[in-house]
Every structure is written in structure tokens, then in C-alpha cells.
Structure 1
Amino acid sequence: MSLLNLDYNLFQLINHLAVVYPFLNPIMRFLAQEGEYVFYVGIIFYWFTRKEQNRWMVIHSLVSACVALGISGLIGDFFYRDRPFVSHHVNQLIPHAMNASFPSDHATGAFVIATSIFLFRKQEGRAWLVLAAGVAFSRIWVGVHYPLDVLAGTLLGCGTAIAMYKWIPKWKMVANLLQQGLLVYEKMERRILPTKSPQ
């Protein structure tokens, strides 16, 4: 059995769960469509805690996400794969454009942010990784991605976050630019949102 056939068989197995366990479909729809916004809210929350470690974590997350999603776009152009609902009869629970399926941008984005958080905040990061896994799995459940799509997105997201975590401190010019950018932002922030002095 070829890898693609195995991939399709696994897709059918997971996608059919929408028929077997229909009471879970609203949760899967939410994760597949709105799950990514939970990550955005989380990143904004961490940023506005105004803690230096959290802000570096957010910067790392955003840089890593830009790199990972850029790579994902290139892969999609060079190794184009149709969505499952284009080539097969599926249980499609959400609307979706008929664009490239491989790799999954949702899985890439969720895992690059979750892994970035994990690298800085291990305990909370585990919960974010579980949420990322839920987002990735839901994309198969609702019929818009194959398992290989989300697996590739998962590996790309995790791998990019880990690589950036190791490499950014070694790239002195990039690290200095990010440091200077953060200092400029915080200087402006102090003018707009002055810290209350203790009474």
C-alpha cells in the first residue's frame, strides 16, 4: 500500500467519525475555524502582561510564524495537492476554498506558536500544544485536510519554532534589531500607558 493510499484510508477513518460521533461536530467546527483565534488572543494577552520574558516569547512566536508560514506557502506552490473534498466524497463540515491542501497552514500556525510558548513556559506550553493538536486533528475531522497535511504542518511548525529559538540569539544583527525594536516600543508605551507608581 502506497503512502498516499494509507493517508487517504486514515483520512476516511477520521472523517467518518463526524457521522459516528455527531455530538462532537460543533467542537470540531470551532477548533477548525476559530481555534486559531485562541492563539491570537493568547499572544496578545502575553504581550500586554508587560513582562520581558513574555514579550520575547511573543516576538519569537511571531518571527517563527512568519518563517514557518512562508515556507508552507512555498511548499504548497511546488508540491500542490488538492483538498480532500475536491477529489473525493467527504463529510465536509465547514466551507473552504479549493486551494492547496499540503501542508496545513492551520497546523503550522498552531504548532509554531504552541511550541514557542512551550520553549519559554513549559507548564503552560503543554496546554497550548494540546490545543494545537486539537486544531490539527479537527481539520481532518471536518474534511478539509489529509493526515499528511497536518503532520507536515505540525513538523514544520515545531521545527521552525525550535530552530528560531536556537538561531536568533546567534544571529547578532537580528537579535540586536529585535532588541532595539522592543526598546523603542516600550519607550513609546511608557508615554502612552505610564506605569502607576506604588502609593
Structure 2
Amino acid sequence: MAGLTTGGPNVDVSLLYEINSLARQAPGWCDRAVSLTGEYGIPLALVLLVLWCWRGARRADEATAAESFAALVWAPLAAGLALLVNAPLREFVGRPRPFRQHEGLQVLDPGPGTGLTTGLARTDFSFVSDHATLAMALGVGLFVANRRIGLVGIGLALVEGFCRVYTGVHYPTDVIGGFALGTAVVLVLAPPALALLTPVVGALNRSARAGWLVRSKVRAVPLAVDLTQAPTPPAGQRTHESDLAA
């Protein structure tokens, strides 16, 4: 399994070198920005997107708010499940990091912790990318809850994949595999997951203490206007009309 990219030139390795070569041409501040964006920035942005989507869902009507909240709960659960699935998958494939197999790569992210969940040194395995898996799972999960915000999340996941190849810590196929894994876990398991989560969310919505999590209780109530009654004129105008009638 480790020989996925060890035997001669191929598209995967060629694309890795082409994208990673951009790091040699870019200024140092740009490399640091890309590294931090891929490692921390985009995952944080996706979490903030989930919170933003939740804020908007709470203002919807009762049925829509419950469905959106259930989908938003499923998004991080699916991302965590995808990472759990990836842990044995990485061990089974056993693909070394690209800088272990190929020379001349510009590795921009030195130090421990390249794996989002492993916390190991940079000798851990490469396929599939945890960051790409997490980002795409959150993006697709957001799309299930809110298509417009979900498209932004999917776009951020694509940028995350680019950053991981740019920094030299993943092959392009590591990223593509992460995208596929995150998407598959979210969409394949969404029907049974939402079937289980929706009644739980409904019960939560009916709770006096925790209902605010699902739906905002503060609403602007429009005043009822009786159109059959003519508006009452001011006091001064009524006096003037009475004098004219007399």
C-alpha cells in the first residue's frame, strides 16, 4: 500500500511538485499565512460558519428551525465520525508523508502535530488527509442545513486541500480521498442520523430551559389593526368639526 507514489513519475507526484513549487516563489510571509490558514484558520472559519448558520436557523419558523438544527448537529458529528473512520484507514494504507518519499519539497509546516487528531511527529501516515476530511465534512454538513452557507463551507474545504498540498505535507490524492471520505460519511449516513436527531431536537425545542438552543423565543409580534373602524381624529380636529356642524 505504501507504494502508491513510489514507482516513477505520475500525475499525483507531478501535481504535488507543481503546487508545492509555488512556495519557493512566494515571499516568506505568504508561506506562513498559507500554513496557518490550512492548519488552523479554515477549520476555525468552518466552526464559525456553523455558529452563524445556527444563529440564522433559530429565527426561522418552528418546523424549519428544528430541521436546520438537527442538520447542524449532524455536521460536526459526521466530521468526528469521518475522522474516526480515517484513523484505521491511514494505518491500513500506510502511505508515508510525501517529504519522506520525494526530495526537493518545500515543507512549510515543521514540527509536531501535522495530523489533526494524532498529535504525532511528522512521521505519521499521509492518506487520507484529516484536515481535508474534516473541512469537507463540515462543508457538506452545512450544505444539508443551508445551501447558501454550505457552498461557502465547501469552497473553504477546497482551499484547505490546496493549502495542505502547498505546504508539502500531503499528496493531491490524500486531499481528494479526504474530500470523498468526508462527503460520503455526511451524505450516506444523513438519513438515519437525521431520523434519530429530529425527534430529539423536537423534544429539546419544547423544553422550557433548553428550547432557546433550537428556536429564538423573542419575536416581533405585529399589532392587529381593525380596518373596519375609521381612525379617530385628534381632539382639536374633533372640536373644529363640531363647530362647523353647529
Q: Which TM-score tier does this pair reach, normalised by the shorter chain?
A: 0.7 to 0.9
* Percent identity over paired residues: 25
1:41 aligns with one of 20, 41, 48: 48
- Which residue does the alignment assign to 1:189? 210
Q: Which runs of 5+ in 2 are unaligned?
A: 60-64, 115-120, 222-246
TM-score computed with the length of structure 2 as normaliser:
0.68
- Which residue does the alignment assign to 1:66? 80
Moved more, 137-146 or 181-190: 181-190
Q: What are the superposed Cα offsets for residues 48-93 of structure 1, whole Å, 9 maximum, x if unpaired?
A: 4435243122112023212211111120121111112233332111
User: Cα RMSD between the aligned structures?
Assistant: 2.8
* Paired letter, 1:94: D
Larger relative helix fraction = 1
- Which residue does the alignment assign to 2:106? 91
Partner Cα distance (2:25, 2:4) in 1: 26
Partner Cα distance (2:177, 2:169) in 1: 15
* Paired letter, 1:84: P
1:102 aligns with one of 104, 110, 127: 127
Q: In the superposition, relative to structure 1, how do residues 176 and 151 fare at CA in structure 2: closer, same or farther (>3 Å)?
A: closer
Structure 1 residue 15, shift from structure 2 partner? 0.6
- Which residue does the alignment assign to 1:180? 200
Q: Work out whether 1:82 is the aligned partner of 2:104.
A: no
Moved more, 35-44 or 3-12: 3-12
- Which residue does the alignment assign to 1:172? none
Partner Cα distance (1:180, 1:55) in 2: 11
Aligned residues: 193
TM-score computed with the length of structure 1 as normaliser:
0.82
- Which residue does the alignment assign to 2:171? 146
SS in 2 for 1:16: helix
Q: Which runs of 5+ in 1 are unaligned?
A: 170-174
Q: In the superposition, relative to structure 1, how do residues 144 and 78 fare at CA in structure 2: closer, same or farther (>3 Å)?
A: same
Q: What are the superposed Cα offsets for residues 174-199 of structure 1, whole Å, 9 maximum, x if unpaired?
A: x346632663487232489x844658
Structure 1 residue 102, shift from structure 2 partner? 0.8
